Amino acid sequence: KNEVEQSPQNLTAQEGEFITINCSYSVGISALHWLQQHPGGGIVSLFMLSSGKKKHGRLIATINIQEKHSSLHITASHPRDSAVYICAAYGGSQGNLIFGKGTKLSVKP
């Protein structure tokens, strides 16, 4: 079983829809990261959070430490949000990031 599990693996939405991507982890962590991988392959960090909630534009990330669960929400989705979203937990046995397999999001106009 992977230490970091994401769901769904694939998600198709219509422009304007509210989107939720989920991440569950089984390791003790000090931080949870959300990353975005563009269709061209580049990876950027969206959020790093250890508690509560963070918001950046239309993106919101939440974490529940007790339940070992995090969610990434996208409000008013747009085709340019189409990408792979990756959850990563920091603080595993090697003290490095442990990555989920990613959620591929496609937003149709």
54 binds other proteins (CB under 8 A): no
Q: What is the CA radius of gyration of the chain?
A: 13
End-to-end CA distance of the chain: 36
Q: With binding defined as CB under 8 A, does residue 56 bind other proteins?
A: no
Q: Site size for other proteins, by CB under 8 A? A: 18
- The tokens describing 28, both together, are 């003790």
CB distance 5 to 62 below 8 Å:
no
Name residues whose C-beta falls within 8 Å of residue 18's C-beta, 6 or more positions apart in sequence: 73, 74, 75, 76, 77
From CA 52, how far away is CA 10, in angstroms rounded? Answer: 26
Residue whose CB is less far from other proteins, 17 or 99: 99
Residue 97 lies near other proteins (rule: CB under 8 A): yes
Closest contact distance (angstroms) between CB of 44 and other proteins is: 7
For other proteins, the binding residue among 19, 24, 33, 81 (CB under 8 A) is 33
- The residue within the footprint of other proteins, chosen from 1, 56, 57, 94 (CB under 8 A), is 94
Binding site for other proteins (CB under 8 A): 31, 33, 41-45, 48, 86, 88, 90, 94, 96-97, 99-102
